[in-house]
Structure 1
Amino acid sequence: MGKDRIAIRLLGTVSVLGLFIGMGAQAQELQLEPASEPEGFLGTVELGQGKREVQVSTAAPVTVINQEELDDRQAGSVAELVDSVPGVTLVNGSRPQGSGLNIRGFGATSSFGTDQKVQILIDGASTGSEELYRIGTQLFTDPELYKEVSVIRGTIGSFEFGSGIIGGVVQLETKDASDFTGGEVGLRFRQTLGASTNAEGFVTSSILAWQPTENLEVLFNYTLRDVDAYKGGDGQLVPNTESRMPSYLGKATYSFGDNLEHSITASYNYSETDEKDVPYDTFGTTGGSFGNVDRKVTNEIAGLRYRWNPVGNDLIDLDVNLTQSTQHIVSNYVAGSSPLEGTPSGPRIIPLADADQDYEITKLTAKNSMYFVTGIATHDLRIGFELMQKERLNAPSAPGGTDKRIALFAVDDIGIGDHWTFTPAMRFETQDIEAHDGSVSYDNSALMGGLSARYAFDNGWAIFGSGAYTENLPIIDDLGTPRYMTMPERSHTFELGASYATTDLFAGGDALQAKVNLFRSTLWDITSYVDSTFVPIQEVNSEGIEIEATYSMESGFYADFNAAIGEYDEVNSTGVAGIWRNAPADSARLTLGKRIGAAWDLSWELVGAKSFTDSTGSKVNGYGVSNLRATYRVQTGVMTGAEVRLGIENAFDKAYTPALATRTAPGRNVKLTLAKTF
């Protein structure tokens, strides 16, 4: 993308934001008096805000999805939540197997569930698949277990969480018992039941939250999600899209000491699928050359966390987190299902499908946050270390080995006066990686870091910029290629943007938040990819614009908008340039809604993507899809507090296949969810 095209797109962005603000001004005519609250109402919905707050107070490109939006979207998977974030694209849909995340062109690919450039964290535990061929399992968990999902796009803001992060970081935080007890002694039970028409889906989620004393809370969550194969907008059944996934979450927190300044949290998170006679290739819709398998996948995350935050001491806010995430994939080849079974290729293909995959990540992270003043500067410093061990057993599709790492990191938010914030960040990481049989071993290390700067004006405007450098250290999959084991992938990213936040803009009590971010990344010394003709890729360049905005009125009207526009190119080892094979489509999302008192929330969401030509020269068609949602919260009677949600996704039954997907997207899907906390 040349400078002229960047300028044109930026002008277009400003025009869109102008229209967005103007639309909010015209919406004043829709003002209604908010309904009065009935006697005894236990309301939790705050009027005068959109569904999603824009993070205008930071230079980092971060998006947070809270519990209200989690519930409102009635998502069937975590994937269906995070793809609403600008710059995030799903690879091959949202089913438990075969799905993956692409952020700014990195993450899951058409061959693997991960390229190690997007980090997935669940309560601080590192999760996500290894580079298992044609098996993508990064999103193997249920959204009912979580109360918040945040997405950091790009490298800046990632140094606390890992190395080699170019696409971004997805953090999921599980529910706590106190979210339901309100911190008071007692027992609460929440039941959620949901059904969907397309794929005849069903979900039940039961949460028991018990707080026997002020300093002890215990939660147990059982969720079962079961869906058949869905139909596309053309009415045709999309094969091998059915799934049945039970999930469990157990979590207990004990607080002690003066003012309960110490706490210990233990948690266990488990999900599984058990599929029979399904394609080995989870990215495809048929068995193809690899044939079919019986496959059982179990995903476990266990954690033990200690926190110490003494009252009145700004120098101690300690967080020590020991986690272990384990994934077992047991595959048994279905005899006679591969056309290559009786050919010379059979001895290579069949063991690939008839292989078990087993890996675990054990991690200890300790960090302390402290606030102090030096001269004219205030410091919010986070400093810590991380010990991590990845271990994977041998399999026909990938070598086994152990990857041990030690990392030190520091991030300092430095405030100078009322306007400037500087955030230097660094991470030093060492690695000892070896094959299970002891045949080869390598030692590597890397120093990486970045700096962001933000200036806030007194009128609600702020400008910011950042630069970051990171290295992706070698992985277990590449132990068989000596050249790769001493050549980390390297990347730098530069960002520039502005934000604006104000109230009483067009009418008393209204509010506007908007943020525009331009980025440019370059990746080189590449070991992860080849181009469409299997020639190694030498360099990948990505650049674009991300927009987030929300406008709300005191009357309950709100409008949310986000968009991602970019260009992505690659240069192979022979110097030939082309379109990056993992390039996402330009996309946008607009939501118009109205809250009527505390009882009703009605909204229409338009999701669109632009057509483009991919790396193979094929045209990927654009689309526009409407989603309708209605939430009703019972205000009186014995069912006070009950929530009824009705959603119609792809309301006009549009037939389309998103970019980076091999499956047709689901057609019209009506969802009904009932939830009540007792």
Structure 2
Amino acid sequence: MKTRAHLLAGAAICAVLPAHLSAQDLLLGTIELGESQRSLQTDTAKSTTVIDQDELDARQASSMTELLDSIPNVALVNGGSPQGAAISIRGLGTQSGTYGTDGKIAVVIDGVTSGAEEIYRNGSMFALEPELFRNVTVTRGPAESFRYTSGAIGGTVEAQTKEAADFLEDGDTFALRQKLGYESNGDGYTATTILAFAPDDKFDLLAFAGYRTVGDRKDGDGTVQAATGFDQPSALLKATYRPTEDSTFTFGYAYNKIPEFDVPYNAYLPSWSDALVDRNTEDRTSYLSYRYNPVDNDLINLEARLTYKQEKMFIQQVAGAGTNTIYNADHDTSTIALRIENEALFSTGIVDHTLTAGIEASERTRKSSQLAGPYAGLNDGSAPGGTDRSISVYVADKMEVGDKLTLTPQLRFEHQTLTSQGNDFDYVSFSTLPAVADGTSFSSSAFTGALSARYAVTSDFAVFGTLAYNENLPILDDLRVPTVRETSEKGRTIELGFSYDTLDAFTQGDHLQAKLTGFKTHIWDGTTYSGVSTTDLEGVELELSYVHPAFYADFNAAMMRGTINGTDDDYKWAPADSVQLTLGKTFWDEQFDLSVEAKHAWAQTRTPDTNAAYYPGTVPSDAYTTLALSAAYKPNSGWAEGVEFRATIENLTDETYRPYLSTRNASGRNLKLTIAKTF
């Protein structure tokens, strides 16, 4: 039965490929489909995917990472759980599944940079409730990361939380939305309540409360995957006040918590140790912004944003034969930042400019206090503490030259100072890491930038390219390593591609979109991967979208390769080659939507890992094909008017497989049901 399903899915995928190409010869990128689930962005040189509210609802994700598993050249690491999870973008960022963060992927929530420092085999930048968000934008490569960081060589994930206006129709002053969900694999339940209030056109308020609980999942063979269950309460409060038509004040606060009891210490690889711990993870993100945008002055669209973020993880050992400082520590990382940014619109001759300029100052403070032992009160030896102070200036100018050529230069200067606190003792683990006296400081600077160009050859066809330079500055975890704490990783990326976007391509009323992007990245002065000083990555990303009056189809695929240290040795963190096809149709005046999604990943056997017990994510993986079936019904009349019914069967054929880079098997068949209504 599984073999027949595989053949059918493979035939469907191969049918959409040109006859002279095999699927494995393709490398694919970004899709966004207006009339279907996603609309391909063909009017930009960026490799960007936007997942809007409709698709967020349709995916019924259990974790934030699951929102991203349909994006080409984005691979998940243990994606079904928020702890020990990560994403890889163009082969970069996967170390966050092991340690916490490697700096090569930026995660930004409501304009607030996220991502805790390295917490050994526990960290995750995605311990966030997916129901909080109204859209998520993923940019592959460094194209537009320079607003937030100098080092996002791999890419940027930007998420916007929900707003009151999303639930209030014209004339409404009050709305209440209730949503309930169930998933069969793990016997999970979800409940969210949203209150939106707008007494007049000057003030609106949104309050969100949610709770998700999921048990340990089973793979396709029925084997329980240890420590994959979790509980997650969450909350959001957002208020907006407009004293004049030119001025807007906004306050936002988001809260996520994951309490765990008697769980393996190692969230990345539970079998690594017999130590059981109680672990409590909390994330608080808040900001206050003021925007001044006078309607009669195109040169001013100014925003000042004060942000505060606290990421906490409390770990205490409750069982197990051995003891270690990493099993008993109170990690607390807080960041306060002020960003002032302006967008100006003006023209110089035939060139129309959109000039964005900003300055940001931030201070990141981290403590990882040991709870017991001779160094109680000092930092966990594997998690140095102190402060990271930085100031950054950035500018980007989107220049439209006539109606065909668009040039976008970007520049960023960033200066940081790392100062040690609570690390004044030698730490012996796999090697001796030396003590660093309190108050010892290390400074680094980076001057980075990019130039993107897009040229519309015709109204349908365009070519584009980007040249970018990044520097990934040291983080607080580097304080104990002399060769790393004063070294920045450098990266150079080249992108070239073309896009095609036309109406009435094959029949009246249809819409065809295509985008092909090739990239090549060279990284040197490497500090992230042990024994890797240089990395060379290359790949191609193809995206196709076709909307016919009778149906819609989305297709993407991804393939990339990498080598290290100027040799032919393979870069083992590159994900497996994959293709994905979604076919769908709407019925009954678009009240009912039915779609099937097929994904195939080839075996990844290029880099056999000899340390399977320690890094099982890079152990060779087998090929697999999965199918998912989704249905959504939103009646516009009758007793159920305004109610949304959704059902999804993930891994329809109950396939047993382990995605390359993950440390455990993926979930088996999973039925997800949700019902929601706005009152």
What amino acid is the match of 1:488?
A: S
Say whether 1:354 aligns with 2:328: yes
Say whether 1:558 aligns with 2:552: yes
Name the SS for the 1:106 alignment partner: coil
Q: CA offsets, 1:566-602, max 9 Å, x none? A: 102222xxx7652213211111111000011221100
C-alpha contact 1:517 1:546 (8 A) present in aligned 2:
yes
C-alpha contact 1:183 1:211 (8 A) present in aligned 2:
no
What amino acid is the match of 2:266?
A: D
Tell me the residue number matched to 1:604: 596
C-alpha distance in structure 2 between counterparts of 1:459 and 1:613, whole Å:
43
Q: Identify the match of residue 394 of structure 2 among 409, 412, 424.
A: 409
Tell me the residue number matched to 2:578: 587
Name the SS for the 1:538 alignment partner: coil
C-alpha contact 2:554 2:582 (8 A) present in aligned 1:
yes
Say whether 1:621 aligns with 2:607: no
Say whether 1:300 aligns with 2:291: no
What amino acid is the match of 2:586?
A: R
TM-score, scaled relative to structure 1: 0.89
C-alpha distance in structure 2 between counterparts of 1:94 and 1:47, whole Å:
25
C-alpha distance in structure 1 between counterparts of 2:318 and 2:61, whole Å:
33
Tell me the residue number matched to 2:433: none
C-alpha distance in structure 2 between counterparts of 1:361 and 1:94, whole Å:
28
In the TM superposition, residue 17 of structure 1 has moved relative to its aligned partner by: 5.4
Name the SS for the 2:485 alignment partner: helix
Q: Which moved more, 1:479-488 or 1:654-663?
A: 479-488
Name the SS for the 1:130 alignment partner: coil
- Gap change, CA 1:15 and 1:636, over 3 Å in 2: closer
Say whether 1:274 aligns with 2:274: no
In the TM superposition, residue 18 of structure 1 has moved relative to its aligned partner by: 4.5
In the TM superposition, residue 305 of structure 1 has moved relative to its aligned partner by: 1.2
Say whether 1:139 aligns with 2:126: yes
Tell me the residue number matched to 1:520: 520
Say whether 1:649 aligns with 2:623: no
Q: Which moved more, 1:419-428 or 1:77-86?
A: 77-86
C-alpha contact 1:114 1:128 (8 A) present in aligned 2:
yes
- Gap change, CA 1:47 and 1:173, over 3 Å in 2: closer
C-alpha distance in structure 2 between counterparts of 1:366 and 1:138, whole Å:
25
Say whether 1:546 aligns with 2:541: yes
What amino acid is the match of 2:657?
A: Y
Say whether 1:568 aligns with 2:562: yes
C-alpha contact 2:384 2:479 (8 A) present in aligned 1:
yes
C-alpha contact 1:568 1:583 (8 A) present in aligned 2:
yes
Tell me the residue number matched to 1:379: 353
In the TM superposition, residue 185 of structure 1 has moved relative to its aligned partner by: 4.3
Q: Which runs of 5+ in 1 are unaligned?
A: 1-12, 21-45, 531-535
In the TM superposition, residue 156 of structure 1 has moved relative to its aligned partner by: 1.8
Say whether 1:327 aligns with 2:311: yes
What amino acid is the match of 1:301?
A: T
How do residues 39-438 of structure 1 correspond to structure 2 at under 5 angstroms?
49-109=35-95, 111-182=98-169, 184-257=171-244, 260-286=245-271, 288-289=272-273, 291-335=275-319, 337-338=320-321, 341=322, 346=323, 350-393=324-367, 394-436=379-421, 438=438
In the TM superposition, residue 615 of structure 1 has moved relative to its aligned partner by: 2.9
Q: Which runs of 5+ in 2 are unaligned?
A: 1-12, 21-31, 368-378, 423-437, 610-618
C-alpha contact 1:420 1:455 (8 A) present in aligned 2:
yes
C-alpha distance in structure 1 between counterparts of 2:188 and 2:106, whole Å:
30
What amino acid is the match of 2:264?
A: P
C-alpha contact 2:87 2:94 (8 A) present in aligned 1:
yes
In the TM superposition, residue 290 of structure 1 has moved relative to its aligned partner by: 5.7
Tell me the residue number matched to 1:39: none
In the TM superposition, residue 268 of structure 1 has moved relative to its aligned partner by: 0.8
Tell me the residue number matched to 2:660: 659
C-alpha distance in structure 1 between counterparts of 2:458 and 2:17, whole Å:
21
C-alpha distance in structure 1 between counterparts of 2:124 and 2:553, whole Å:
34
Tell me the residue number matched to 1:445: 445
C-alpha contact 2:99 2:121 (8 A) present in aligned 1:
yes
Give the aligned length.
620
C-alpha distance in structure 2 between counterparts of 1:619 and 1:199, whole Å:
27
What amino acid is the match of 1:446?
A: A
C-alpha distance in structure 2 between counterparts of 1:141 and 1:619, whole Å:
30
C-alpha distance in structure 2 between counterparts of 1:47 and 1:53, whole Å:
2
C-alpha contact 1:127 1:361 (8 A) present in aligned 2:
no
C-alpha distance in structure 2 between counterparts of 1:515 and 1:83, whole Å:
19
In the TM superposition, residue 129 of structure 1 has moved relative to its aligned partner by: 2.2
Q: CA offsets, 1:373-430, max 9 Å, x none? A: 1122111110111111111113232110101110000011111111000110000011
Q: CA offsets, 1:540-568, max 9 Å, x none? A: 1111011122110223x100011111102
Tell me the residue number matched to 1:505: 505
What amino acid is the match of 1:332?
A: Q
Q: How many percent of aligned residue pairs carry the same amino acid? A: 42
C-alpha contact 1:97 1:135 (8 A) present in aligned 2:
yes
C-alpha distance in structure 2 between counterparts of 1:445 and 1:145, whole Å:
35
TM-score, scaled relative to structure 2: 0.89
Name the SS for the 2:470 alignment partner: strand
C-alpha distance in structure 1 between counterparts of 2:33 and 2:463, whole Å:
29
What amino acid is the match of 2:332?
A: D
C-alpha distance in structure 2 between counterparts of 1:16 and 1:369, whole Å:
42
C-alpha distance in structure 1 between counterparts of 2:337 and 2:463, whole Å:
37
Q: Which moved more, 1:174-183 or 1:65-74?
A: 174-183
Name the SS for the 2:273 alignment partner: helix
Tell me the residue number matched to 1:488: 488
C-alpha contact 1:594 1:602 (8 A) present in aligned 2:
yes
Name the SS for the 1:578 alignment partner: coil
C-alpha contact 2:535 2:571 (8 A) present in aligned 1:
yes
Question: Pairwise CA RMSD of aligned residues?
Answer: 2.0
Tell me the residue number matched to 2:8: none
C-alpha distance in structure 2 between counterparts of 1:564 and 1:307, whole Å:
40
C-alpha contact 1:238 1:285 (8 A) present in aligned 2:
no
C-alpha contact 1:48 1:553 (8 A) present in aligned 2:
no
C-alpha contact 1:290 1:353 (8 A) present in aligned 2:
no
- Gap change, CA 1:334 and 1:614, over 3 Å in 2: farther
Tell me the residue number matched to 2:616: none
In the TM superposition, residue 14 of structure 1 has moved relative to its aligned partner by: 12
C-alpha contact 1:74 1:671 (8 A) present in aligned 2:
yes
Name the SS for the 1:93 alignment partner: coil
- Gap change, CA 1:14 and 1:293, over 3 Å in 2: closer
C-alpha distance in structure 2 between counterparts of 1:310 and 1:491, whole Å:
39
Q: CA offsets, 1:411-457, max 9 Å, x none? A: 11111111000110000011111102534201211111110111012
Q: Which moved more, 1:486-495 or 1:91-100?
A: 91-100
Q: CA offsets, 1:321-357, max 9 Å, x none? A: 211111111111123x13xx2xxxx5xxx21111111
Name the SS for the 1:159 alignment partner: helix
What amino acid is the match of 1:361?
A: T
Q: Which moved more, 1:173-182 or 1:615-624?
A: 615-624
Name the SS for the 2:67 alignment partner: helix
In the TM superposition, residue 19 of structure 1 has moved relative to its aligned partner by: 7.1
C-alpha contact 1:228 1:241 (8 A) present in aligned 2:
yes
C-alpha distance in structure 2 between counterparts of 1:127 and 1:608, whole Å:
31
C-alpha distance in structure 1 between counterparts of 2:14 and 2:349, whole Å:
39
C-alpha contact 2:503 2:512 (8 A) present in aligned 1:
yes
